Amino acid sequence: MNFEKYPFEKLNELLEGIIPNEEYALSVLTIGEPKFETPQFIQDKLKETTSSLQKYPSTIGEPFLRESMINFVKARFDITLHMSQIVPSFGTREVLFNFPQFALFDKKNPVIAFTNPFYQIYEGAAIASRAEVIHIDLTKENGFKANLSDEDLKRCDLVILNFPNNPTSASMSKADLGEWVKKALEFDFILVNDECYSEIYFDEATKPASLLEASIFVGNNSFKNVLVMNSISKRSSAPGLRSGFIAGDADILKEYLQYRTYVGCASPVPLQEAAAVAWNDQEHVAGFRKIYKKNFEIANEILGTPIPEATFYIWLEVKDELEFTKNLYKEKNVKVLPGSFLGRNGLGKGYIRIALVENEEKTREVLTRLKDFING
């Protein structure tokens, strides 16, 4: 398999040999990893349950874990899922990689479409599936919203959306997502939304909709052909727990669960215990949202960037993203990610991605550095 180099490997190569300004401490704004301590109650649960390491974890996950995920979906989206409609995963990265291989295995000439720019696992999954790729281009001109012609959709076997979006921070309304559900039914393709940033929002009135909500909105109450993925990594500042799920069409999930018994990526029971208390609690997530919102307010004050509806990314337009990245590192010891490393066919060119995952003090200091560099 000929996989593209990962964006962070490309970044290391781009910056190789550059000696940064030692007047400043290194600040890394490249990776979407929250820099906040995992809440103590989650850590405590993990410590309390280490004795269950003596047990092999089941592929389907313990009932208490699935129930906690179902509780989350009910509390957040007012949707009641059955046990057959949700499968826990070891984070969402593994399921984003192996689900397309499962879904496309029996297709003679498989076709997958996904948003562009993108989380590179989508492309890796396409390569592993030997699938033809159709890019759903997100541009400033289309408001970074997903759209694809009927001619292309008729060819698709699987479509992966990602809203709220990494890296552009764009969101799509329930009505707009509902149009995608209609197309999935009309042209009989599997529609997935990667919703890992659904809980990093800043206004209750405009909080992101789930594709599951959109499915019900257009009358697809059984979620036929519709699936979502979500994770506690961002919402709970707990990426190390590797707790996610895939939910929706029970018929698809029944077969996918059988496939997963061979994958061998069941979560250890202590991790499930800790993840369950995280999924069941909404208060700590609200606390993290306040921090991220404050970071965007600081960015708006210093850089003039708008506050998005969701995510913790700034998709900043620059003249030359590669030169910008190299010179920023050299002069201010700040690492950002060139947008062209996240897209194909020219998408992402002229942008950098900034992850606002530090505390208020560090965010203000490094964005001031960034502003001084821009004003240079």
pLDDT, one tens digit per residue, over 331-367 is 999 999 999 999 999 999 999 999 999 999 999 999 9
Instruction: For 247-305, write each residue's pLDDT tens digit.
Output: 999 999 999 999 999 998 899 999 999 999 999 999 999 999 999 999 999 999 999 99
Q: Is the pLDDT of residue 376 over 90?
A: no
Average pLDDT over residues 183-209: 97
- For the chain, the structural domain boundaries read 7-37+284-371, 55-281
pLDDT in tens, 143-174: 999 999 999 999 999 999 999 999 999 999 99
In tens, the pLDDT along 83-104 reads 999 999 999 999 999 999 999 9
pLDDT at 214: 98
Separation in Å, CA 148 to CA 98, 138, 145, 201, 297: 24, 11, 10, 26, 34
Q: What is the pLDDT of residue 191?
A: 98
- The mean of the pLDDT values for the chain is 97
- The answer to whether residue 237 scores a pLDDT higher than 90 is yes
DSSP 243: E
- Report the pLDDT value the prediction gives residue 274, as an integer from 0 to 100: 98
> Nearest to residue 161, comparing CAs of 227, 89, 90, 86?
227
Give percent of the chain with pLDDT exceeding 90: 97
Closest CA to 372 of 316, 330, 332, 312: 332
Whole-number pLDDT of residue 25: 96
Q: CATH for 7-37+284-371?
A: 3.90.1150.10
Contact call for residues 144 and 168 (beta carbons, < 8 A) = yes
pLDDT at 187: 98
For residue 2, is pLDDT > 90? Answer: no
User: Given this model, what pLDDT does residue 1 score?
Assistant: 79
pLDDT in tens, 103-117: 999 999 999 999 999
What pLDDT is stored for residue 218 in this prediction?
Answer: 98
Please tell me the distance from the alpha carbon of residue 165 to that of residue 70, in angstroms, as a whole number: 23
Alpha helical stretches, state H, the chain: 7-15, 40-48, 63-77, 93-104, 121-128, 150-153, 174-187, 211-217, 250-263, 269-280, 283-303, 321-332, 360-375
Sequence-ordered alpha helix ranges (H) in 208-333: 211-217, 250-263, 269-280, 283-303, 321-332
Q: What is the pTM assigned to this prediction?
A: 0.96
The DSSP letter of residue 108 is: S
Is the CATH number of domain 55-281 3.40.640.10? yes
